[in-house]
Each structure stands twice: as C-alpha cells, then as structure tokens.
Amino acid sequence: MRTPIHKLPEENLVKPSAIRHAMLPLLAVISAVAAQAPTAAQAQAWPEKAVTFIVPFAAGGGTDAFARPLAAQLDTQLGKRILIENRAGAGGTVGASAASKAAPDGYTFFIGAAHHAIAPSLYPNLDYNIEKDFIAVALMARPPQIVVVNPDKVAAKTLAEFIAYAKANPGKLNYGSAGAGTTHHLAGELFKILTKTNIQHVPYRGAGPAMQDLIAGHVPVVFDGLGSSAAPVRAGQLRALAVAAPKRVPAFPDVPTAAEAGLPGYEVSTWYGVFAPKNTPPAIVEQMTRELQKAMQTPTIKEAWERNGTDVPDVTGPAFAKMVSAEVERWRKVVTEANVKLD
C-alpha cells in the first residue's frame, strides 16, 4: 500500500521570492564589505609613489610659505616625496580647475585658500565647484592680512600717516595683490571703502610676484597675508603699518592692529587648507588627515607657523567643509555689499 503524500498548506511554504527578499540585506552587507576591501588595501599600500600638491599661485607667496614646510614634513613621515606643483593664474582658479580634474587616486591634493571661497562670487563661469568637486581634508593655517609698504617709496611711518597721504594724492597710489578676487584684493577694496581713498589695484599671479615688485619699489603697498610678508618685514625690506586682526600677532608684537592704528573695523584674514579631488578613496583621505594632524604638531611646523603669524588649527573633515561653505557665503555678502568687480 502506497503511503500518501501530504502536501503542506500553501501558507507554510517558503516562496522563492521571499528567500530572495530575505537575502537582500545580507547581499548588501557583502557588497559593502567587498567595495571597502580595495579601498582598505589601497590605503595600506598608499603611498607607493610621490604625491603632488597643486599650489594655485606662483612660488614665493603665502600659500607656498605653508605648503612647502608641510610637504617637507610629510616627506619624512610618509617616506615618499611630496611634490609642489605651482599652477598660477586668475586668482588661484586655474590651479583649482586643474586639481578638480585630477585622478582621484590619492596622489594629487590641492592647497586651497580663502581666495577659493571668494572666487564663486567674482568668476561666474568657473568649471569647478569648491564645495562639490573637492573633499575638504584639513585646515592648514589662518594668518591675518597686514598692510606693508616699501619704506623707500612711502615715507609714512604709521597707518594714519599713510591714509593721510593717500587722501592727499587720490588716484596716484597703486596697490599690488595676489590676483583679482583674492583676499589681498578684497582687503585692498575694504581699505578703500573704510578710508574713502582712491588707490588703483594691480593684480599679480600670486603673492610671490607681488612681494617681489613691492620690495623692488614697483608698487608702494600690498595688503598682504602675513605668511608671505613676514620674512621681508623682519629683514627690513618692508615696513609693516598694521595687522588687520582683532589683536596683535605674537610674532610681531610691535605692529599695531588696524583699530589701534586708527582704522576700526578693518579685519581681514586668509586661510589655507588641503583638499582632495572628489571620489578619492575615503581610507586614503583619512590616512592623509592623520598624517597632517601629526605633522602639524611637530616642533618644526609649530615654529614655522608662529614665525608666519598663525596658530596651528585643528579643523578637519566635515568641520572644515562646513567652514568652507560658511566662507563662500560670507564673501558673497562682502562682494555684493562692496560692489567689488574684477578689474
């Protein structure tokens, strides 16, 4: 006698579609782990060759003053060269454009600055977005601007004397900057607004060339970032009239603030930071962040930063990205209210 086969009720059967649905979370986890595996392996092997820092200004400027010591320290830590590639032009936007299109493989980073938060308000046709096309890695430095003059071309010993001279000679003075749309440019325009003076803007391809012409006497004044003017001020090649900061800089205790010198409200600072092209592997970005934090705490970097009039910031990742976005908005308001235009 054949044993009857009893069918299970259909509701008790596990349908293939249900199995597939149940497997989806597990498959997602497996996929995520598999996706992370190459990234982790990349980070462990990184760097296998030299890493390039694109500096968007000519050599010898404020960006260089911080990028080169940092690169030298990273050379030691990583055991691989950090190469500085100066790509100057259009207020730092040429170098930024090139960096935004670099391969996101962890071998190209970008040294951005406050100028790149200003650029969106002045250059309407940029082919990159500083907030969307880069990963904000770490803030490097934030020195104040400083009013520096050539002592052979400007007799003024104080900021008040310089303002009086500029008012007595409208249109006869020129000021140099690191380029149109840089903090040097905005600092100069703000100075003109606050003092009601007429000084002509002469843009250069970076603070380095502007400093060279200031020292040579081709321009009488620059509203410079302290990073590039600290050395010539110490050497007596330039005269510092005031720092555009709320308090004096420890490295230059004898230089008054603009407010102390008779110009309240004149406060402008720049900043420099490390960015990676978007889609750079997160593990590599994290490793570079750790290396930067380690480098910034070395005596060599701390001493160099102090000489150049800045503290050693500890602002990385999302906090730095948030700062950049806030800076873009802040400078947009300044440019609009001051009606700043490219020359």
**Residue 62 pLDDT more than 60?**
yes
Encoded amino acid at 197, one letter: T
pLDDT digits (tens, 9 = 90+) for 134-192: 999 999 999 999 999 999 999 999 999 999 999 999 999 999 999 988 999 999 999 99
pLDDT digits (tens, 9 = 90+) for 22-55: 555 555 544 544 444 445 555 578 999 999 999 9
Q: How large is the average pLDDT for residues 334-343? A: 81
Does residue 81 sit in helix, strand or coil? Answer: coil
pLDDT computed for residue 38 by the predictor = 47
- In the chain, the largest separation of any two C-alpha atoms, in whole Å, equals 123
Using 50, 70 and 90 to split pLDDT, how confident is the model at 289?
A: very high
pLDDT digits (tens, 9 = 90+) for 291-337: 999 999 999 999 999 999 999 999 999 999 999 999 999 899 888 88
Q: Does domain 145-243 have CATH number 3.90.550.10?
A: no
Same fold, 47-142+271-338 and 145-243: yes
> DSSP labels for 220-269?
SEEEEEHHHHHHHHHTTSSEEEEESSSS--TTSTTSPBTTTTT-TT---B
pLDDT digits (tens, 9 = 90+) for 198-230: 999 999 988 999 999 999 999 999 999 998 999
pLDDT digits (tens, 9 = 90+) for 101-147: 999 999 999 999 999 999 999 998 999 999 999 999 999 999 999 99
The two tokens of residue 25 are: 């979370």
**Residue 13 pLDDT more than 80?**
no
pLDDT computed for residue 39 by the predictor = 53
Which element (helix H / strand E) includes 78? helix 62-78
Domain boundaries, the chain: 47-142+271-338, 145-243
pLDDT computed for residue 343 by the predictor = 64
- What CATH code is assigned to 47-142+271-338? 3.40.190.150
Write b or e for each residue in 246-273: b if 16 or more Cβ atoms lie within 10 A of its Cβ, otherwise e.
eebbebbeebbbbbebebeebbbbbbbb
**Residue 19 pLDDT more than 80?**
no
